[in-house]
Amino acid sequence: MVRFIVRRMLQMAGVLVILSVLLFVWLKALPGGPVSAILGERATPSRRAALEAALGLDQPIHVQYLRFLDRALHGDFGASTGVLPGEDAFHVFLIRLPATIELSIVAITLAVALGIPLGYFAARRKGSLLDSGAVVFSLIGVAVPVFFTAFLLKYFVAVQWQLLPVSGRQDARLDATRVTGLFVLDGILTREWDAAWDATLHLILPALALATIPFAVIFRITRASVLDTLDADFVRTAESKGLTTKVIRGRHVLRNAMLPVVTTIGLSLGGLLAGAILTETVFSFPGIGDAIAQGYREKDYAVLQVLILASAAIFVIINLAVDIAYAIIDPRIRTR
Amino acid sequence: MTPMSYADRRKERIDALAAGSVDETPGVSLIASAWRRLRRDPVFLIGLAITVVFVVLAIISPWIAPHDPAAAPLLDKVRPQSNPVPGPEAGFPLGADDRGRDLLSRLLVGSRQTLVVGVVATLFGLAGGLVLGTLAGAFAGRVDSVVMRIVDVMLSVPSLLLAFTIGALAARPSQTTLIIAIAVIQVPIFARLLRGSMLGQRSSDHVLAARALGVKQHAIVFRHMLPNSLGPVIVQATLVLAIAIIDAAALSFLGLGNPDDRQPEWGQMLGRSQEFIYDYPHLAVYPALCIIVVALGFTLMGESLREALDPKTRR
C-alpha cells in the first residue's frame, strides 16, 4: 500500500513538473511576451527594461525556468492588472477559491444524490419507462452546453419568476462576518442564519447548472455498473444460497457496483473546474472560473497563470486522492 | 431424427455452402450483425437522420438562405433605444439580430462554420492521435512510455481548461485558433484508444502469423494492426465530434472564437446574444437549440454504433 502511494506521488510530481514547463513555455509564447503581458502594450521602454531585468529575461533559458519555478513555488506571480488591479495575483486566487469550492461541493453532492439512486433503479428496471426516460435525459444532458442550462435556469427561475437571486454569492446589503470564506459555513459558524440562508439561495441555481455535467456521467456509470454486477456469478451464488433480496442488493450488488462510480465521482470533480468557468460567468459567481474568464477578457496574464496552474494542480491532486481511495476500497488495484 | 451417413452429411454441407447459408456455423461478421441491429435501432436512425440533415443543410445553406447573412436588410428598423432587435415580419420569419441581419439566414449559414470547426478539429485531433497512438502501439517499450507520459499529462488537465489555455495564447482569437485548441484536447483521447487497441493486437494470431511469414515491421503495423484498430477510433470520433461542437460553442461564448461576425457561427451568435439576453432571449435560444440538436444527433449515432460494435452486447 505504501509502495503504491509513493509510486503514485512520484508520478504526480512528474506531471506537475511537466505542467510547470508547459506553463513556462506558454508564458514565453504569450502575445508580445511576458513583459507586454504583465505591463500591457503601452508601457514605457524604461519600465519594460526594468521588468525584463527583474524577471531575469536576459538570463539563459534554464536559469529563467528555475527562477520561474522558484517564484511559482513561493506563490509570487506578480500583480493583477485586470481582475483586482494592484492585488497580488496569488492572493486573487486565494480570495476566489472558497466560492468555487463551495459551488463544487454542492454541485457534486446534487449529482451524486440524484445520479446514483436513479442509475441504480434504472438498471434494476432495465427497459422500463423510468430507465429509457433517464437514459434519454442523461444523453440530452450531455448534448446541452452547460452555459445554456445555466442561462435557462437564470432566465426562467431568477429573471422571469424571481424565485432565486440572479447573480453573486450573497446580498451585498447583508453585513456578514467572514471566517472561512465558505459563506454558508460562515453563516452557520457565526449563527448569522440570514447570511447562511441567503448564501444558500445564491448557490442553488449555479450548482444545479454545474451538476448536470457530473450527473449525466455518474448516472450512466452507475447504471452500467449495476447492470454488470447483477449478472455477476457471485450474485447468482448469493441468490442460490437463499439470501434475502435485501442482503443481496445491499451487500453484493451495491457495494461492488460502487467501485467504478467512486472513480467517476473523483474524475468529474476536475470536470467541474472547467464547467465552473462557464457557470460562474453566467451567474457572475465570483469564483476561480469567473476570474479565469475575466482574466482572459482583460488580458490579466498574472492572474491567468496562477489560476491555470493552480486549477491543474488541484485536479492532479484530486486524482491522486481518488486513486488512493480506490486502492483502499479495492485491494486488487494496488498490485497493478 | 434419422441417423445420416457420413457421405450424406458432407453432401448436405457442400450444398449448403453453395447456397451461401451455412446454418451449422453462423459466422456472421461483426459489421454485418451490427448493421442488422442498427437498421432497426430507432436511436441510431434518429441520430443518423439529424446528422444527415445537418450536413446537407451545411452544404446547401448559402443557396437556400433567404438573405445574405452578412447583409443588413432590416438595419433601418434597428432603434438602439426602443427596438434594438427587430422582430419577425414578412420574409424574415425569425426576425433580425441587433445589426438588422436576417436571423434565419444566419442560423442556416452558421451550420457551415459549426460543421467546419467540428470536423476539421476532429480530423486534426484524429491525425495527431493516430501518429502518437501508432508510435506507442507499434514500438511498445520505451517509445510507448514516453508517448504515454505526454498523453497522460495532457489528460491530467481538464480538457476545456486546456483548450482555453491554448486559445488564450493567440494574439487575436480566430477560427483557426479555435480549431487548434479543440484539436489538441482530442489528441490524447485518440492516442490512448489506438495504442490500447494496437497493443492488444501485438500478440494476436494474425500478427504472429504475419511475423512468422517474415512480413516487414512497417507492413505489419500499417497493413495488419492499424486497419484492425480503426473501428473503435472511428466510433469514438463520432462522439468526439459532438463534444467538439459543444466545446467550440463554449470557447466562442467565452470570446475565444472568430470575432468576425460576417461569417456566422452558432457559438459566436450565442456569445454575441448575451448583451440582449433578458429582453430578447430568442437570440440565444435559436443557436443553442441548433447546437443541442446537432450534438444530440452525433451522440445518439455514436452511442448506438459503439453498442452495436461491442462484441459483448452481441445477441
Q: pLDDT, tens digit, for every residue of A50-90?
A: 777 776 677 777 888 888 888 888 878 778 887 888 888 88
DSSP state of B96: B
Confidence of residue B124 (pLDDT cuts 50, 70, 90): very high
In order of A151, B269, B310, the CA distances from B48 in angstroms are 29, 26, 19
- pLDDT of A133 > 70? The answer is yes
Measured CA to CA, the distance from residue A171 to residue A154 in angstroms comes to: 17
When mean pLDDT is compared across A17-26, A28-37, B66-75, B190-199, the lowest value belongs to: A28-37
- pLDDT of A39 > 70? The answer is no
Measured CA to CA, the distance from residue A130 to residue B303 in angstroms comes to: 19
Measured CA to CA, the distance from residue A107 to residue A212 in angstroms comes to: 8
Contacts of B46 in chain A (CB under 8 A): none
Q: Minimal Cα–Cα distance from A243 to chain B, Å? A: 29
Residue in chain B lying closest to A291 (CA): B254
Rg (C-alpha) for chain B, rounded Å, is 26
- Of chain B residues 167-196, which have a CB less than 8 A from chain A? 168-171
Reported pTM:
0.83
Residue B28: predicted pLDDT = 64
Q: Of A94, A96, A98, A104, give the one whose Cα is nearest residue A269.
A: A104
**What's the grid cell of residue A323?**
486513486
Confidence of residue B15 (pLDDT cuts 50, 70, 90): low
Q: Do A22 and B250 touch (CB under 8 A)?
A: no
Q: Do B158 and A296 touch (CB under 8 A)?
A: no
Q: Of B302, B266, B261, give the one whose Cα is nearest residue A145.
A: B266
Measured CA to CA, the distance from residue B240 to residue B226 in angstroms comes to: 20
Position B240: which residue type? V
Measured CA to CA, the distance from residue B228 to residue B213 in angstroms comes to: 19
Measured CA to CA, the distance from residue A318 to residue B114 in angstroms comes to: 34
SS3 A306: helix
Contacts of A160 in chain B (CB under 8 A): none
When mean pLDDT is compared across B7-11, B41-45, B76-80, the lowest value belongs to: B7-11
Q: Do B169 and A30 touch (CB under 8 A)?
A: yes
Measured CA to CA, the distance from residue B184 to residue B166 in angstroms comes to: 8
Phi first, then psi: give them for residue A79, nearest 5 degrees.
-95, 150
Contacts of B300 in chain A (CB under 8 A): 139
Chain A and chain B share a number of CB contacts under 8 A equal to 99
Q: Which of A30, A32, A143 sits opposite B292 (nearest CB)?
A: A143
Q: Of A183, A188, A212, give the one whose Cα is nearest residue A286.
A: A183
- Of chain B residues 207-246, which have a CB less than 8 A from chain A? 242, 246
Q: Do A155 and B161 touch (CB under 8 A)?
A: no
- pLDDT of A216 > 50? The answer is yes
Measured CA to CA, the distance from residue A115 to residue A122 in angstroms comes to: 10
Residues of A with CB under 8 A from a CB of B: 14-15, 18-19, 22, 26, 29-32, 139-140, 142-148, 151, 155, 159, 270-271, 273-275, 277-278, 281, 292-293, 296-297, 304, 308, 311-312, 315-316, 319
Contacts of A9 (CB under 8 A, 6+ apart): A320
Domain spans in chain A, listed from the N-terminal domain onward: 96-326
In order of A97, A306, B186, B288, the CA distances from A148 in angstroms are 24, 28, 23, 7
**What's the grid cell of residue B272?**
454575441
Measured CA to CA, the distance from residue B206 to residue B54 in angstroms comes to: 40
What chain B holds in terms of domains, given with CATH numbers, is 37-62+114-313 (1.10.3720.10)
The answer to whether the beta carbons of residues B239 and B302 sit under 8 Å apart is yes
Distance from chain centroid for Cα B206: 30
Q: Minimal Cα–Cα distance from B176 to chain A, Å? A: 16
Q: Which CATH number is correct for A96-326, 3.40.1080.10, 1.10.760.10, 3.90.76.10, 1.10.3720.10?
A: 1.10.3720.10
Contacts of B164 in chain A (CB under 8 A): 274, 277, 292, 296
Contacts of A319 (CB under 8 A, 6+ apart): A12, A266, A267, A270, B156
Confidence of residue B21 (pLDDT cuts 50, 70, 90): very low
Q: Do A277 and B295 touch (CB under 8 A)?
A: no
Helix axes A288-297, A255-283, angle to 10 degrees: 40
Q: Do B164 and A296 touch (CB under 8 A)?
A: yes
DSSP state of A162: -
Cell numbers 490524447: residue: B188
Residue in chain A lying closest to B293 (CA): A143
Cell numbers 480530423: residue: B123
Measured CA to CA, the distance from residue B105 to residue B134 in angstroms comes to: 43
Q: Do B250 and A145 touch (CB under 8 A)?
A: yes
Check: complex ipTM more than 0.90: no
- pLDDT of B88 > 90? The answer is no
**What's the grid cell of residue A273?**
473546474
Q: Can you tell me the mean pLDDT for B39-49?
A: 88
pLDDT 10s digits, B26-39: 556 767 777 888 88
- Does residue B255 sit at the A interface (CB-CB below 8 Å)? yes
Measured CA to CA, the distance from residue B159 to residue B302 in angstroms comes to: 20
- pLDDT averaged over chain B? 81
Confidence of residue B1 (pLDDT cuts 50, 70, 90): very low
Q: Can you tell me the mean pLDDT for A154-162?
A: 89
Q: Do B153 and A19 touch (CB under 8 A)?
A: yes
Measured CA to CA, the distance from residue A36 to residue A47 in angstroms comes to: 11
Contacts of B244 in chain A (CB under 8 A): none
